[in-house]
Structure 1
Amino acid sequence: MQDLRNTYLGKLGAIEFRYSKFIIIAMVILTIFFGSQAINLRFESNMMKEIPQNFDVIKTQELITNEFGAEEAIIILLEADLNEISDIRNKKTLESIYRLEQRLKSRPEILDVIGPGTVYYSLFGEIPDNEVYLKEIAENMPQLISRDYSAAIVLVRTTSFVYDQASINSIIKIVEEEVEKENLYGLNYNVTGTPILIKTLLEILQEDIVKTVLLAILTILILLTLIFYFKSFLVIAPPVLGIIWTTGHLSMMGVPISMATGTFGAIIIGLGTEYGIFMMSRYREEAKKRASNETRVVAMIAGVGKGTIGSSTTTIAGFVALTFSSMPSVVHLGQTLSLGIINCLIGAFFFLPCLMSLKEWNVSGIEIKNKKLNRSIIKFSELQAKRPKSFLLIGMIVTILLASGVSFIKVVEETEESSLPENSEVMRVFNTLKDKFQRYDSMLVLVKSENVLSSNVLREVYILNKQLINIQGIKGSSFNLGLEDIYLPREDLKRRLEVSDSLGYLIIRLDMSKGTDQLQLYDDVKSVLNLTPLQVQPGGTIAMIRELTDIIMPEMSKLSILGLIGILACVMLTFMSVRYGIIPLLSVGVGIMWMMGIAGFMGTTIDSGLVGILSIMAGIGIDFAIQTINRFRLERSPIMVERITNTVQGVFEPVIISSIVAGFGFIAILAATLNFLDVLGKLLFVGVFSCAGITLLFLPSFLVIQERLFQDTKKIFHSKKNRIDEINTL
């Protein structure tokens, strides 16, 4: 024990014991401060800011917004009440729609309103009585009146479209007030559109963050209570403090919470608890020796401090790698998790030991009292030491079988609507909108020219449109001109086509068949666009999904390599050995292969928000290998069987406890409503137990083989060196 007191960490422990009350007060004050700052934590509702801004498709989308207005208008979906009318193309219904449009236009907060009533008034100055006119004009409004004539939409744009939740709620309230004032004839209404999806997504995200964090804390508390009884509150104190400090830091740094970072609470709770477990276990070990409370506290910090710092730095290295991503959302995730682990480490090193310094605590723990189980563990570890090649062969076969599942992983980009539950009311309304209107089930093609209404340009657009609608999966187009129509007067062309005010841009909306492979369709459309002499660019949600999907695997590979390099450097510094720096990477690499293979067999879909999952898992799962190798190196027995047996017995309990606590902390994420969070929770749960399984089942055998190879190589080297020395002597 005297040796521990003389170390830097031992001296730190003595200082903490002496000034424990002052440190606790200071940390409580800091926690209150950071908690007050956390109230201002911002939620990122603009999904466009969470993806790379330098993509051509993003620039195209911004151009479309600037020239044509935001696609993300609030939409009033008007559906025929079949008890009153079956076709909205009647004077009374269209008059009531026009009056609603005028009401909305009168509000100063609203910039523009586009609806079928306005179109009729622009052509006739009124809603005509002639049903032939009503039906003929409706044929040319597939974006405002559905093809079965049972629904219409009114697009509402605000003076400056904003994505924050308060502004969205404000404009929705205005729209609903005006709709309620108007007596719509034979119509039912719903307010929908991307802003509504964003509003719903943010509300669910906030609920999910609170729900997953509380469930993770409750789950881990129950597990820890079975181990430490009511002292479990002491163990979980550092990660709780870490979450409060992290949210405060994020608020002060201006880093928002988004879909990608929404799970940080459950992840930090799951990982941060591990530090408290090892600290408390060492305190208990010293308590068994009837050591003084000061000795116990010093041992907590000096005895496991180096290992805790080593494992936490590797975790942080894996998270820091995420900050090199080209995806802003992944960068924010890396910043959030890195900061969270650092704060948990501070809590474990300062807050927990100081709490333990206040009095002598009686800490319970887990002991393998079942002699049969204990003997089974010993026999299994002896078998690993005696037949290491057989174990590794089995491990290789299992790894190959599981790795084959990686090919079944689906890679696709998520959107606001795909993130929300399909059975929710907001998605029911939005899906109705997509089913009935071309605007929300289409791919955009942006045509650029000095004057898109010139006959020469329109002739080329006509030819291009013919080629596009012949692509399998495309059933129609918003470009409805015949070759003879390209010479119509400008005003007629502007009414029939979607052109910008400057006449420099024209949009073609391609109507897709249901069930079409959107990504393949995008590739087919792009190949046709490459052949036209026109200046054209694909746009819209599908184009963004395709471009983001293409970067997922390269981005995942890049972040994984950077994470492994950072982790390798940390492990090599921890062990001061290249050989023992590489072995943990091999172990966690196989664990990740297991995780991805199992995920593939489960039919998992990965999107851009999960590009950092491999780096995250590497930072989390490598702790088990580090603990095992550290214990193996501490064992000095010359008998390999005894050395491996002692190693497995020494790490079995902490690895099992840590994996259960972390794994079930992550499983709390499955309680989230958003689809993206559900996938992340499954991957982390499977990943933790995969890495733990590799560590306990196959790593000991690998250590035996590499030790034998190293010793044999060392003997050969010394033998050759001795022979050379003998020759030189002669």
Structure 2
Amino acid sequence: MDAFFKGLGRFIEEKRALVIIASVILLAGAMFGATRLTWATGMETMVNTDSQVYRDYQEFNDYFGADTVIVLTRADGLTELVNLGNVSQVDAIEQQLSGQDGVLSVVGPGFALRQAMAQITGAAVLPPDQATLNAILLDNGEIRPEMRNFFPTDTIGIVIVTMKGGVSQAQIDSLVSSAKAAIADATFTGVQGSVTGASVIFSEMQALMTKSMSTMISISMLLMLVILAVVFSVRGFFAWRWLPLGVVAIGSIYAFGMMGWLSVPITMVSMAILPILIGLGVDYAVQFHNRYDEEARRGETVGEAIIDSVRHIGPAIAIAIIAAALGFVALFISPVPMIRQFGQMLVMGIVACYLVSLFILLPILYIHDRGKAAKTNGNNTKPLAEGRAGLVERGLGKLAPWVIRNPVLIIAIAVLCTVAGVALDGRIPTETDEQKYISQDLPLMKDFNELAQLSGGSAAFSIMIKGTNVTSPGALVWMIDVEGKILSQSAVPVIGASGIADTVAQINQGQIPETQAGIDQALSYVPALLKGNLLTPDNTVANITIRTGPGIGTEQLRELKNVIQNYIDSPPAGVTATVTGEGIIGLEIMNSLTSGRTEMTLLGVALVFVGLFLLFRFNAARALIATLPVAMIIGWSSIVMFLGHIKYTALTATLGSLIIGIGVEFTILIMMRYNEERKKGETPEVAMTTAMTKIGRAVITSGLTVVGGFGALLFARDFPILTDFGAVTMINVGFALVSSLVVLPTIIVAVDRRKLEVIKARAIETTTVK
């Protein structure tokens, strides 16, 4: 390895022009690849598209649609709400939206009034005057119960637009735009309109994500500038300490270019990648820059400093990169697609940042310092003076002896915190509602939450019934029976279970007709817009929608799902029934985030250990010492999350693997520098003190840059999923620094001392025997 990196350093020195030209060419390709990046905000980012749960959900959506857009109208009072002029404007919006591409049905006040007029006059038109409208809608000055679906309060009106199955995001976006335009063009009096619904949220997501990414990138760059200016001290021009940031900006372009070429989309999770990469990438660049500066201060020529910096720090960073990549690879097993994509982006990003640190930063340093040496000395041999130890080095020099003297205290506290964290981990809740990942203070979320409160609950499950004729008397009677059992069960509050069967029964005075002809006649009275949500045109698939009350928890949903499954296990001959819907998707996500999280963490620890075991030439002790201090942080993190009331999400579920991948770099750098000093003949105490003071500054700078990268996530106010993740990860990186500078040194020295004692004892025994 030493010979390889020495040769690599010489190649960078001799072929610097070629290296930079190649980097520029690759940069052009990366910039073009970045233009191919796409956004993903749908259900496919949370659930495996090849899972049976997803296939059932998509099949149901193909038949009945799942994407809905809600138009809310808010009035100053009941008089304005049911004013004929205002209702006519709402009806005009309904008519306009019903002609939109991809729309399955539009049901609102206009639809309800037209149906009522059709029963009275035989013509589906709006009431001709206010008195007729009031007679249809009101009873003793109050909204009639049968009209509460469209007027849930005396100030709110609702129009529900259901999209056909398989519609594209472009069609949804077009509908949302049309709805907003129709509201803007309406001439309401005392009424205001707005558009909401889950589909609207996803439609607005890209704009929100773009805005948040721009904010995070700007903040992360600013934080890096400040951190590097304050902490990272190198020779020469003051601005030279910002060189790592400029290099990493190029590395980020490479990473995003690879994402574009490999068709890895940007999601709510992966949108955090750029600030993270800036932090990690600056970390790697700082390590190379710091070691080059150290070699130059010793009096080496510019060329020697380049070669020795690559030779000494290159292997350590390479091992750290491989270990980090192995930790991130554990994310690939996650059942959640956007977590897997996050892992892919992390691996590509850290590799890109490592390569630019080698092949861009070092050639720039060489060209600059060689030119400076030529001006001052006429050649490339003038040594550069050793600098005075800074505040950080002096502080670490004082910390090292204390750490070495107190192994029992330090290790005991670290282990106790780890055990406590592991015990608390099971008490940390998991957030599976993707809509909660968005700020609830946004106007569109306020509208959505208000709608949920007005409806009194949510459509938890749907039962998809399939058969050659699901409208046969036997099938409809069975459906009615299932609905009754669901409504009467006591496991979970259910406020509604409805489908085509009870609709037919309502038309036939509460009974299912005994003949197919009677059923067909009843079906002919069901409005097409209403029937489209309950039954396919060929009568082969039907839908039962089950609505639960507000505040239903995951365990209750799971229990209700099991109850429903028992009710539908014995359908009539030729009929099959499947439970699907958003509730099933939520349960699937919950399972993925809970079981998958533990597996990812354990796999991350195992992969890092095995990787280091191989890289350290089958030295299990060294691999364990490098891994153990970072693995402890996982327990410490659980304490922070529990005390901070932070839930596990699609992002915080990655914390175990992520912190292993990030933190192991610090332990490897310190361990390898310690070994370098020991090979020079230093005692364990002196070697550790030297290692901590020489590389400690760079490690602390690296840690702070990573903290700064994650700190930028705190400014993504529209996405609590990012702010929570940023806060916890910042603390975890701080833990990684503490573990690397406090826990790791005491373990290394204690183990090394014990090894020396054993060697000395054996030597005494050998001498005695002789």
TM tier, smaller: 0.7 to 0.9
Distance 1:690 1:719, change over 3 A: same
- Alignment correspondent of 1:221: 225
Report how many residues are paired.
711
- Alignment correspondent of 1:600: 642
Report if the CA contact (8 A) 1:225-1:231 is conserved. no
Letter in 1 for 2:58: E
Counterpart check, 1:411 vs 2:452: no
Report if the CA contact (8 A) 2:397-2:693 is conserved. no
Report if the CA contact (8 A) 2:306-2:366 is conserved. yes
> Which among 59, 64, 67 is matched to residue 63 of structure 1?
59
Letter in 2 for 1:85: E
Report if the CA contact (8 A) 1:115-1:144 is conserved. yes
Residue by residue over 1:476-527, the C-alpha shift from the partner in whole angstroms, topping out at 9 and shown as x without a partner, is: 2143677961325535464687521233444333333333325423423432
> Which among 674, 697, 700 is matched to residue 653 of structure 1?
697
Counterpart Cα distance in 2 of 1:609 and 1:684: 10
Distance 1:607 1:364, change over 3 A: farther
Residue by residue over 1:184-206, the C-alpha shift from the partner in whole angstroms, topping out at 9 and shown as x without a partner, is: 57643212222320122211111
Counterpart Cα distance in 2 of 1:515 and 1:670: 29
- Alignment correspondent of 1:45: 41
Residue by residue over 1:631-683, the C-alpha shift from the partner in whole angstroms, topping out at 9 and shown as x without a partner, is: 33232557544444444444432332222221122111111121111122122
- Alignment correspondent of 1:75: 70
- Alignment correspondent of 2:299: 290
Counterpart Cα distance in 1 of 2:441 and 2:686: 58
Per-residue deviation, 1:160:
6.2
Residue by residue over 1:21-66, the C-alpha shift from the partner in whole angstroms, topping out at 9 and shown as x without a partner, is: 3422332332233223313311113232442124443223212212
Taking only aligned residues, the RMSD between alpha carbons, in angstroms, comes to: 3.4
Distance 1:117 1:223, change over 3 A: same
> Which among 90, 115, 128 is matched to residue 97 of structure 1?
90
The aligned runs of 1:522-533 (5 Å cut-off) are: 522-532=558-568, 533=570
Per-residue deviation, 1:599:
1.6
The aligned runs of 1:236-255 (5 Å cut-off) are: 236-255=245-264
- Alignment correspondent of 1:446: 463
Report if the CA contact (8 A) 1:446-1:539 is conserved. yes
Question: Mean alpha-carbon deviation: is it higher for 455-464 or for 693-702?
Answer: 455-464
> Which among 338, 342, 345 is matched to residue 351 of structure 2?
342
Counterpart Cα distance in 2 of 1:241 and 1:363: 31
> Which among 499, 507, 532 is matched to residue 534 of structure 2?
499
- Alignment correspondent of 1:153: 159
Distance 1:529 1:289, change over 3 A: closer
Report if the CA contact (8 A) 1:477-1:508 is conserved. no
- Indicate the SS of the match to 1:53: coil
Report if the CA contact (8 A) 2:62-2:166 is conserved. no
Report if the CA contact (8 A) 1:474-1:510 is conserved. no
Letter in 2 for 1:474: P
Letter in 1 for 2:95: Q
- Alignment correspondent of 1:432: 450
> Which among 613, 630, 655 is matched to residue 572 of structure 1?
613
Letter in 2 for 1:431: N
Report if the CA contact (8 A) 1:245-1:343 is conserved. yes
Counterpart check, 1:486 vs 2:486: no
Residue by residue over 1:336-359, the C-alpha shift from the partner in whole angstroms, topping out at 9 and shown as x without a partner, is: 111111111110111001101212
Counterpart Cα distance in 1 of 2:399 and 2:344: 41
Letter in 2 for 1:441: S
Per-residue deviation, 1:469:
2.8
Question: Mean alpha-carbon deviation: is it higher for 315-324 or for 75-84?
Answer: 75-84
Counterpart Cα distance in 2 of 1:95 and 1:588: 66
Distance 1:44 1:547, change over 3 A: same
Distance 1:341 1:372, change over 3 A: closer
Residue by residue over 1:596-619, the C-alpha shift from the partner in whole angstroms, topping out at 9 and shown as x without a partner, is: 221221111112344332112111
Counterpart Cα distance in 1 of 2:724 and 2:703: 19
Letter in 2 for 1:390: L
> Which among 583, 591, 615 is matched to residue 550 of structure 1?
591
Report if the CA contact (8 A) 2:72-2:156 is conserved. no
- Alignment correspondent of 1:267: 276
Per-residue deviation, 1:712:
6.5
- Indicate the SS of the match to 1:608: coil
- Indicate the SS of the match to 2:360: helix
Counterpart Cα distance in 2 of 1:671 and 1:249: 27
Counterpart Cα distance in 2 of 1:554 and 1:722: 57
- Indicate the SS of the match to 1:443: strand
- What TM-score comes out, normalization by structure 2 length? 0.84
- Alignment correspondent of 1:380: 402
Report if the CA contact (8 A) 1:452-1:505 is conserved. yes
- Alignment correspondent of 1:367: 389
Counterpart Cα distance in 2 of 1:133 and 1:153: 18
Per-residue deviation, 1:172:
2.7
Per-residue deviation, 1:283:
1.8
Per-residue deviation, 1:370:
8.5
Distance 1:186 1:161, change over 3 A: farther
Counterpart Cα distance in 2 of 1:130 and 1:33: 65
Per-residue deviation, 1:263:
0.8
- Indicate the SS of the match to 1:262: helix
Letter in 2 for 1:78: T
Question: Mean alpha-carbon deviation: is it higher for 138-147 or for 7-16?
Answer: 138-147
Counterpart check, 1:19 vs 2:15: yes
Counterpart check, 1:687 vs 2:687: no
Residue by residue over 1:351-394, the C-alpha shift from the partner in whole angstroms, topping out at 9 and shown as x without a partner, is: 0011012121789988345898466324413413xxx2333223
Report if the CA contact (8 A) 1:138-1:145 is conserved. no
Question: Mean alpha-carbon deviation: is it higher for 456-465 or for 228-237?
Answer: 456-465
Letter in 1 for 2:535: S
Could you tell me which runs of 5 or more consecutive residues in structure 1 were left unpaired when the two chains were aligned. none
Report if the CA contact (8 A) 1:213-1:265 is conserved. yes
Counterpart check, 1:355 vs 2:364: yes
Aligned-pair identity in percent equals 18
Letter in 2 for 1:293: V
Per-residue deviation, 1:691:
1.7
Letter in 2 for 1:565: A
- Indicate the SS of the match to 1:566: helix
> Which among 192, 196, 199 is matched to residue 196 of structure 2?
192
Per-residue deviation, 1:93:
5.0
Per-residue deviation, 1:569:
3.0
Letter in 2 for 1:667: G
Letter in 1 for 2:663: G
Residue by residue over 1:116-147, the C-alpha shift from the partner in whole angstroms, topping out at 9 and shown as x without a partner, is: 42344344323453755546996446654436
Distance 1:449 1:332, change over 3 A: closer
- Alignment correspondent of 2:176: 172
- Alignment correspondent of 1:35: 31
Counterpart Cα distance in 2 of 1:198 and 1:392: 48
Per-residue deviation, 1:220:
1.3
Residue by residue over 1:256-310, the C-alpha shift from the partner in whole angstroms, topping out at 9 and shown as x without a partner, is: 1111211111111111112211211122222223322212222222221111111
Residue by residue over 1:223-245, the C-alpha shift from the partner in whole angstroms, topping out at 9 and shown as x without a partner, is: 11222331123122332111101
Counterpart Cα distance in 2 of 1:280 and 1:172: 51
Question: Mean alpha-carbon deviation: is it higher for 359-368 or for 231-240?
Answer: 359-368
Distance 1:243 1:78, change over 3 A: same
Report if the CA contact (8 A) 2:62-2:165 is conserved. no
Could you tell me which runs of 5 or more consecutive residues in structure 2 were left unpaired when the two chains were aligned. 373-383
> Which among 232, 237, 241 is matched to residue 232 of structure 1?
241
Counterpart check, 1:461 vs 2:486: no
> Which among 105, 108, 121 is matched to residue 114 of structure 2?
121
